[in-house]
Amino acid sequence: MIEKFNINTTLIKYKFSNHLNIKNKLINLINQQKAEKINTKDLYYNDNISLTDWAESSNFTIEWKKYFIVYFNEVLKQITHTLGYDTFEICNLWFQKYNKNGYHNWHIHGCNYTGVYYLNLPKGSSGTKLLDDYNLKTVFSIEAKEGDMIFFPSHIIHKGDIQLIDQTKIIISYNINFFNIKKEILDYLKNY
């Protein structure tokens, strides 16, 4: 018999303060990056991603990534602290573009956290939906704006909804591992 318990988990939404400072240069660098279209429909996958560099997600020598990581590391330090950890590692980093009718169907990620940076999100663009892992019939929509970043546990089933407008949405996605519980939390937990 399986008994299911509902415990709280954390989804973080972060307003990236450097968004307007880096947006145009980052988009220009991304536009120079080799990318591929993903259009799959089989028993498991059903995706229509206009362009992505997922195949290079673990290659951090790419120009747009070198530029972005300088800023992203500062964000990750704050998120790491907020979640109660001391250190982090970026496992994967990639972009995805969605033209009209583009989408990324239900899926999960590796590492212990994942997320999305909404780099270019024209008004009316599709958002991200997550499935409540306690009640698998409950879907939660993220109300994100351009410049927002979200972080959530990688095992949460989620999707990028269909892009209904005739403008390009660009996101940067990432898989992150957080390590080493902060000392003050470990000190507190000695009582348990």
Question: pLDDT digit of tens for each residue in the chain (192 aa)?
Answer: 988 888 888 899 999 999 999 999 999 999 999 999 999 988 888 899 999 999 999 999 999 999 999 999 999 999 999 999 999 999 999 999 999 999 999 999 999 999 999 999 999 999 999 999 888 999 999 999 999 999 999 999 999 999 999 999 999 999 999 999 999 999 999 988
CA distances from 36 to 48, 50, 54, 81 (A): 11, 8, 8, 35
Which amino acid makes up residue 23? K
Domains of the chain in start order, with CATH, are 12-179 (2.60.120.620)
Neighbours of 120 (CB within 10 A): 20
The count of C-alpha atoms lying within 13 angstroms of the C-alpha of 54, restricted to the half-sphere facing its C-beta, is 14
Q: What is the token pair recorded at 82?
A: 């907020």
Both structure tokens of 56: 């290079």
C-alpha separations of 95 from 56, 68, 116, 131 in Å: 10, 11, 9, 22
Packed helices 63-83 and 19-31: angle between N→C axes, nearest 10 degrees: 140
Pair of tokens at residue 177? 């591992």
DSSP letter at 62 equals: S
**Total-model pTM:** 0.95
pLDDT at position 177 is 98
